[in-house]
Amino acid sequence: MARITTTKLKKMKESGEKITMLTCYDYSTAVLLDEAGVDVLLVGDSLGMVILGYDSTLPVTMAEMLHHTRAVARGAKQAMVVGDMPFMSYQVSCEEAVRNAGRFLQEAGAQAVKLEGGREVVPQIRAIVQAGIPVMGHLGLTPQHVHRLGGYSVQGKEDAARQQLLEDARLLVEVGVFAIVLECVPVDVARMVTEAVDVPTIGIGAGPYCDGQVLVTQDMLGLYRDLTPRFVRRYASLQQPVKEAVQAYIQEVKAGSFPGPAESFGWPEKEPLKVY
């Protein structure tokens, strides 16, 4: 199967085929998600919270994002890999935005980048796209702006905010984004935007009318417990099985039943050890 491209995603919107996207931060998980058939793997700056233990996405650096994107890119053979541009990697200037976006493709092996914001980042998006780098937009609740927004809450509830969100979506399309993430916006707003633009919308807490959906993998697998958004559906609860497996390992090591007697390894003690 060929790798998912921006052209493929647009055709999926046109045909009504839903797009699947999950976050991913490491090689082994990328292999599993890719083999399962996920269309897009987002190396999200959410890694700051679910992987690195920060209180928000704001401390995440370019070095951290590139490190994790490289790992995911090595594991994904079919899914599109999108690198999330971290806080202050694109806001300062168009030149810096292009340079950092280019690093995701050149150094980390991603096929596209994502960045947050509407009209205020239009110049940066235009410059990145003109440099030949595919850009995914992100509107609604934008976690990098959590302090300005006053917390993690639904966006676009008032008429003026709804209209601005729609206008921002159209502006992003005009400057060349290939898709737009809509996070925590009312269902009718997500539907309005999805119908108004000719690029795919990917919802997270935005209802069923978007062209696709994205979740944080650790959320949908029940592995991250510090914060559980209302819109998350857990497809597995892996915390307890993982904990039980570790406890069984600890018990066997303490009891001396793991790794087992020397003769079970199949080589004499005096011969050179060849593991592989």
> Hey, which residues does 113 pair with through a beta bridge?
83, 135
**For 75-232, where are the E strands, in sequence order?**
80-84, 112-114, 135-140, 179-183, 201-204, 212-215
Name the band, by pLDDT with cuts 50, 70 and 90, for residue 241: very high
pLDDT at residue 150 in the model:
61
Q: What are 219-231's pLDDT values in tens digits?
A: 999 998 876 777 7
**For 177-229, where are the E strands, in sequence order?**
179-183, 201-204, 212-215
Query: What percent of the chain has a predicted confidence (pLDDT) above 90?
Result: 83
- Mark whether 195 is an active-site residue: no
> For all residues of the chain together, what is the average pLDDT?
93
pLDDT at residue 126 in the model:
98
- Output the pTM of the full model: 0.92
Structure tokens at 168: 């921002």
What CATH number matches the domain at 6-237, 3.40.605.10, 3.90.1150.10, 3.20.20.60, 3.40.50.740? 3.20.20.60
Q: What are 145-178's pLDDT values in tens digits?
A: 766 766 656 777 889 999 999 999 999 999 999 9
Q: Range with the lowest mean pLDDT among 106-110, 145-149, 196-200? A: 145-149
Which residue in the list 35, 107, 120, 183 is annotated as catalytic?
Answer: 183
Residue 142 has pLDDT above 70, yes or no: yes
Q: What are 22-45's pLDDT values in tens digits?
A: 999 999 999 999 999 999 999 999
Residue set of the binding site: 45-46, 84, 114, 116
What is the spatial distance between Cα 26 and Cα 31, in angstroms, rounded to a whole number?
Answer: 9
Distances (CA, A) of 228 to 54, 94, 124, 207: 15, 35, 32, 17
- Which residue in this structure is represented by tokens 């994502």? 114
What is the spatial distance between Cα 212 and Cα 208, in angstroms, rounded to a whole number?
Answer: 8
Domain locations in the chain as residue ranges: 6-237
Residue set of the binding site for 3-methyl-2-oxobutanoate: 45-46, 84, 114
Q: What is the CB-side half-sphere exposure of residue 39 using CA atoms within 13 A?
A: 21
